[in-house]
Structure 1
């Protein structure tokens, strides 16, 4: 059956990802001015291009009392592996971007292999923003890391239907199907989502690590979460 997915993968094209900001219904955001919005967009474009230091430099010109600035700085600092990301994400809790704060804290916890804390943060984020596909996808990844297969499947299916143009959830669903030795469905989904051969190979590698020993299941897949989650903001990441 592995031959089936290898043949299907040879026909696949690479997908793309996009980013967004989730506004909570509990508070209103102060809207940035036109020049500030332009600077925020420029900084985000730089981050998506992998120019993290340039992105951060541009963000440092903007006032931190704007929650949109703190969110983008937190994301860039997280990608850099800087500790300053965590307090910035925490500063978003209780604001209009609380879901983004919980999401970011979940990403940081997952990168530390703390799946328990990551689950709590991401479940809260999903309750605040149930239609945000990237949060649902990342919650599914944490569930999959813990071999909570039915819950992971539910989150991936939800994310796939919410964001049909984003291949991330499909990629993770392929990982889950390979983990279950369901090669036929994995090949069909990979082909439908137009995943590249490398993406399919990465999905297979993750599935094999999850399928491995208990130690591997608890540690190795979490190392891939930063890659998966970062891709969901447009910078792989």
Structure 2
């Protein structure tokens, strides 16, 4: 962790993205979710297990026997349906806005917008998600990817560094930061970061491939696009 903090001082040159005021309900989203009863929790756990084992259809079947009045059920269904490319995911994510899982709703809407190539809309959703859940490293990473796609390199670097410091055992923000440095042709800093964070040769190769695609005009994938099985976090 000390290596991360030392390297942060070398890289942290820019601020985070500007933020627009939003509707009060979105800004104040939060609070406690109503808890499922024991049988409902068992079904949720079973659905989680199946989804994480790569059986999304089976997981969805278990979720469909639970009431959609539970925010936790709507969130899981939205994640599975997004993975399966179903349009029903978006209204489920929107149903979470203003509630106890508003940050997750904004995050999901940002992922959907990014998947269809609308990085400006994704940026707005992910910025709101960060305001609602500032310590969620997955949201920070995804915001950084969208900012990198938009050429907002200083802001993206800030988000990747924040994600790394929040949870240094998640390699995705580190790979994305190396990608950004390679896009900027900062090879010395990229190689130094790989050494300090103990990234492997395969991870460095992945960063190089992503950087080459970005330089060629392609877009970088969000975390969920890179790891579709990791739905329940």
Counterpart residue number, 1:234: 230
Is residue 110 of structure 2 the alignment partner of residue 114 of structure 1?
no
Q: CA offset at residue 184 of structure 1?
A: 2.8
Give the stretch that moved more between structures: 154-163 or 26-35. 26-35
TM-score, normalised with respect to structure 1:
0.80
Query: Of residues 173, 178, 194 in structure 1, which corresponds to 2:177?
Result: 173
Structure 1: which 5+ residue stretches go unaligned?
Answer: 1-23
TM-score, normalised with respect to structure 2:
0.81
Structure 2: which 5+ residue stretches go unaligned?
Answer: 1-27
Is residue 37 of structure 2 the alignment partner of residue 33 of structure 1?
yes
Query: Of residues 135, 145, 151 in structure 1, which corresponds to 2:139?
Result: 135
Measure the CA separation in 1 of the matches of 2:224 and 2:190.
18
With over 3 angstroms needed to count, the CA separation of the structure-2 counterparts of 1:69 and 1:117, relative to structure 1, is same
Counterpart residue number, 1:63: 67
1:66-215 to structure 2, matched below 5 A, reads 66-212=70-216
Which aligned segments of 4 or more residues in structure 1 are displaced greater than 6 angstroms? Answer: none
Q: CA offset at residue 230 of structure 1?
A: 5.6
Q: Do the aligned residues in 2 keep the contact of 1:177 with 1:183 (CA within 8 Å)?
A: yes
Q: Do the aligned residues in 2 keep the contact of 1:138 with 1:229 (CA within 8 Å)?
A: no
Q: Do the aligned residues in 1 keep the contact of 2:182 with 2:208 (CA within 8 Å)?
A: yes
> Of the two structures, which has the highest relative contact order with CA contacts closer than 8 Å and spacing of 6 or more?
1
Measure the CA separation in 1 of the matches of 2:160 and 2:69.
35
Give the stretch that moved more between structures: 80-89 or 177-186. 177-186
